[in-house]
Amino acid sequence: MNLIFTNHAITRLYNRGISQEKAYDVFANPDGQLPGKIPGSVKFYKGYNEQRIEVVAKKNDKNQWVVLSCWTRDKNRKLHRYQEPLLQKLIGKLVKKIFKA
């Protein structure tokens, strides 16, 4: 299977200490996948020890997969960054209700 890496993806791999071989393994043998933020893209992810590597790819006009970006995430992190503010807001409302009563 042929996989094309954008310059941005190669730079991110280098900066984050992830090899192209590891990114390819995540893409070819993921633990799972989710829709990416960019329409038509897919986020592939796979766990390695305490880290989860995520690879975002999209098919081009020639139906070839192109890696757009790649990063690592701590597997023990319970909440994603978009959930933390929501949880803080809900706890704040709960605390206000408790102390109003």
What pLDDT score does 8 carry? Answer: 92
Q: What is the mean pLDDT of the segment spanning 61-87?
A: 75
pTM score of the predicted model: 0.71
Q: What is the mean pLDDT of the segment spanning 60-80?
A: 82
What tokens appear for 22 in the block? 């590891």
Domain boundaries of the chain, sorted by first residue: 3-100
Q: Is the pLDDT of residue 79 over 50?
A: no
Q: How confident is the model at residue 73 (pLDDT cuts 50, 70, 90)?
A: confident
> Is 44:57 a contact under the CB 8 Å cutoff?
yes
Q: How confident is the model at residue 13 (pLDDT cuts 50, 70, 90)?
A: very high
What's the whole-number average pLDDT of the chain?
A: 85
